[in-house]
A and B are shown apart, each in its own frame.
Chain A
Amino acid sequence: AQSVTQPDIHITVSEGASLELRCNYSYGATPYLFWYVQSPGQGLQLLLKYFSGDTLVQGIKGFEAEFKRSQSSFNLRKPSVHWSDAAEYFCAVAAGAGTALIFGKGTTLSVSS
């Protein structure tokens, strides 16, 4: 069965600095990969997704992620973090058509001024 590991429980970044959140997945074939964000009191919002094609995908709010098959990774990046980016970030994987999303345990992002 597929699984997701987010190695960093909590990360603090200065406002304006770059950000990279790590995600490693376990699945035999090419999975469908997602990043979601959850702000306090808010529902989960999709940032971006990768199904196939270009391994660098662009998402909303200036986020991007790169799929690296050799490393089984799908790390999320942003060149310049804003205070409003403080939230919980979840990486998720689906094995393919007809399957459900499996989420990682999340990384909490704090932004310092």
Chain B
Amino acid sequence: DTGVSQNPRHKITKRGQNVTFRCDPISEHNRLYWYRQTLGQGPEFLTYFQNEAQLEKSRLLSDRFSAERPKGSFSTLEIQRTEQGDSAMYLCASSREGVGAGEKLFFGSGTQLSVL
């Protein structure tokens, strides 16, 4: 069990640029979640996957945000035309099944995005 891995740890970009983050869940974990956390706030749910299927994406913050999990393993979160308000920590978590099935979420250390 190597834990949830997120890359990069830090990303600095200029406003208007596109950025992509990667998350590698714990192997054999079917569920993968993306959250955003700003300073002094709790993690804000964005989207999640069951294998390669994206089951909930209505909470993605705008149409500039998109996520994929093409083979049901790693996932990417892309933000197009970044804005300063996108600066935050982006967290990924995984679990074997959903939390309603009694499963524990394992969180990665996150990707800190700074938009200049």
Contact = CB atoms under 8 A, between A and B. Distances in A.
Interface residues of B, number: 25
A101 interface: yes
Interface in A3-35: 4, 6, 32, 34
Contact of B42 (A45, A51, A104): A104
Contacts of A100: 33, 45, 48, 56, 98-99
Interface string A38-58: 000011111001010000000
A44 B99 contact: no
B45 A102 contact: yes
Interface of B: 4, 33, 35, 40-45, 48, 55-56, 91, 93, 98-102, 104-105, 107-110
12 contacts: A6-B42, A44-B43, A46-B104, A46-B105, A49-B104, A51-B102, A90-B42, A98-B98, A99-B99, A100-B33, A100-B99, A101-B105
Interface of A: 4, 6, 32, 34, 42-46, 49, 51, 90, 92, 94-106
